[in-house]
Amino acid sequence: MIWDTTCEARGIMRTAKNILRHELIGLECEVVKAGNPQNVGIKGRIVDETLKTLVIKDAGGSRRVAKPKSVFRVVLGAEKADIDGDYIVARPEDRIKKKFKKW
């Protein structure tokens, strides 16, 4: 038997309070604020995450957006959450283990 250890299988849901400790890949996202003004308004699905960037796939292709100095609005079911990119500057596997003092 294969065990499904995803958060959804264990009954843990992604919410605005705990989104920093969850996987971002696959979420619908919009860039609300960015250090590069040309990135503001990009909407699509997060397809990859690195130490300092998110790759968002939109109608025109994939766009790489820097995390620092950016704010991302993600859709979590019926609610939306704004994520300050400065909080998530880390490799995804390290960010999930990281403890956040105030969010």
pLDDT tens for each residue of 43-77:
999 999 999 999 999 998 999 999 999 999 999 98
Which letter, b or e, does each residue of 63-83 get, where b requires 16 or more Cβ atoms within 10 Å of its Cβ? bebebeebebebebeeeebeb
And the tokens for 45?
């699905």
List the CATH number of the domain containing 28.
Answer: 2.30.30.210
Per-residue pLDDT at 102? 58
And the tokens for 7?
């958060």
- Beta strands in the chain, from DSSP E residues, in sequence order: 28-33, 43-49, 53-58, 61-66, 71-76, 79-84
Please name which of 23, 4, 3 lies closest in space to residue 13, comparing C-alpha atoms.
Answer: 23
Quote the domain boundaries for residue 54: 19-95
**Comparison of pLDDT for 13 and 7, the residue scoring more:** 13
Q: Give domain status of residue 31, yes or no.
A: yes
Is the overall model pTM greater than 0.85, yes or no?
A: no
- Domains in the chain: how many in total? 1
Q: Give domain status of residue 70, yes or no.
A: yes
Per-residue pLDDT at 3? 39
pLDDT tier at 4, thresholds 50, 70, 90: very low
